[in-house]
């Protein structure tokens, strides 16, 4: 199997994680890294990797086939489009963009360049999520009556003070984009199209530190009249506490829980027991805070298989755009809770 050559744009917490998985895969090679913070060059484990201060220079490297966009949220769309226009396949971190209009432009650029656009949705690979998706798809659970999502995490002052873009409405987008988009994607993955009925958001604990909400509650539904409640907070005391999805269905009730959708906390399913789940990866650990599950090895594996004609793109631009459309719908129907 021929080697697939990668370049990474953005070498912060998530970019270094991409680098580690690229360098660990037997069929991939990291050729170049771009970040405007030269101090991050010390994070490179392989001194043979070329360092670029501007992404336009990295895109001129003809040896790079795939570009991983790991920049702040607001830069995902313009850099992805530039990379596609330069003839590269792109792996874009979440959120795909901050507007569905930008998503459409990214999809159009991929189509015009005849290149693949991969959008990172790594929580789909969590073993409990994989198991529940199969039960829904094969009809074991029957009709889904109700689904509740809780994302109760801690994002303190230090988190927002680390980077100027965090907490900015224009550059960050809000909690639904940065902390909750993976959870929204799992709702879409399990149930298909959903729409927001109502919601409320408020900044309860972060004051002037951020320009958007830190807490919210939403009610959504779908064409099957499933009641979906979505609750989130970045105000939990000192640490992340819960990331969970509870499903009440015609033939079963279960809860995917833990802090990161990584365990089955309870289940009672007609003629079925979810058992012997494979061990999942650890969460993304950034020292002073933690994020979603670290399944980026599976994202890289999908890229390799697609480029060798052995698979289709697991989560493409259309999947990424749908999540952004749901987020826009949720924000559009939310009022400020006072």
pLDDT tens per residue across span 225-252: 999 999 999 999 999 999 999 999 999 9
Q: What pTM, to 2 d.p., does this model score? A: 0.94
pLDDT at residue 287 in the model: 54
Q: For the chain, give the longest Cα–Cα distance.
A: 59
Secondary element (H or E) of residue 6: strand 4-9
> Which is higher by pLDDT, 258 or 224?
224
List, in order of start, the domains of the chain with CATH numbers.
4-119 (3.40.50.720), 124-292 (3.30.360.10)
pLDDT at 291: 52
Question: CB atoms < 10 A from the CB of 157, how many?
Answer: 12
Residue 293: pLDDT above 60? no
Tell me the average pLDDT across 123-127. Answer: 94
- Sequence-separated (6 or more) residues with CB below 8 Å from residue 337: 200, 201, 202, 215
Averaged pLDDT for residues 91-95:
98
Cis omega (within 30 of 0) on the bond before 95?
Answer: yes
Cβ pair 153, 236 in contact under 8 A? yes
pLDDT tier at 289, thresholds 50, 70, 90: very low
pLDDT at 304: 98
* Least confident residue range of 10-19, 256-265, 286-295, 306-315: 286-295
Inform me whether the pLDDT recorded for 123 exceeds 60. Answer: yes
Closest C-alpha among 231, 245, 234, 246 to residue 199: 231
**Torsion angles phi and psi, residue 92, rounded to 5:** -105, 125
**Is pLDDT at 336 greater than 90 in this prediction?**
no
Average pLDDT over residues 50-56: 97
pLDDT level of residue 284 (50, 70, 90 thresholds)? very low
Q: Is the pLDDT of residue 58 over 60?
A: yes
What pLDDT sits at residue 55?
98
């Amino acid at each position: 199997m021929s080697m697939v050559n990668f370049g990474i744009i953005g070498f912060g917490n998530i970019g270094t994680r991409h680098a580690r998985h690229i360098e660990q895969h037997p069929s991939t090679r990291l050729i170049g890294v771009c970040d405007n913070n030269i101090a991050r060059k010390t994070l490179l484990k392989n001194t043979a990797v070329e360092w670029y201060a501007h992404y336009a220079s990295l895109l001129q490297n003809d040896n790079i086939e795939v570009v991983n966009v790991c920049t702040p949220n607001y830069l995902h769309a313009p850099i992805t489009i530039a990379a596609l226009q330069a003839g590269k396949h792109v792996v874009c971190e979440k959120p795909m963009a901050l507007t569905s209009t930008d998503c459409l432009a990214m999809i159009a650029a991929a189509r015009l360049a005849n290149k693949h656009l991969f959008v990172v949705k790594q929580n789909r690979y969590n073993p409990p999520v994989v198991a529940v998706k199969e039960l829904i798809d094969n009809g074991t659970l029957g009709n889904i009556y109700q689904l509740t999502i809780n994302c109760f995490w801690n994002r303190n002052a230090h988190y927002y003070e680390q980077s100027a873009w965090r907490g900015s409405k224009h550059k960050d987008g809000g909690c639904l984009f940065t902390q909750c988009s993976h959870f929204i994607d799992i709702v879409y993955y399990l149930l298909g199209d959903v729409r927001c009925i109502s919601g409320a958001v408020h900044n309860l604990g972060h004051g002037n530190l951020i320009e958007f909400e830190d807490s919210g509650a939403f009610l959504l539904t779908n064409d099957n009249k499933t009641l979906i409640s979505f609750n989130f907070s970045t105000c939990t005391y000192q640490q992340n506490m819960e990331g969970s999805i509870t499903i009440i269905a015609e033939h079963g009730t279960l809860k995917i829980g833990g802090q990161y959708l990584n365990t089955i906390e309870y289940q009672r399913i007609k003629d079925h027991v979810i058992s012997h789940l494979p061990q999942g990866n650890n969460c993304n650990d950034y020292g002073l805070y933690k994020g979603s599950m670290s399944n980026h090895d599976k994202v890289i594996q999908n890229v390799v298989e697609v480029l060798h004609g052995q698979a289709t793109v697991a989560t493409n631009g259309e999947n990424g755009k749908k999540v952004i459309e749901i987020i826009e719908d949720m924000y559009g129907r939310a009022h400020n809770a006072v």
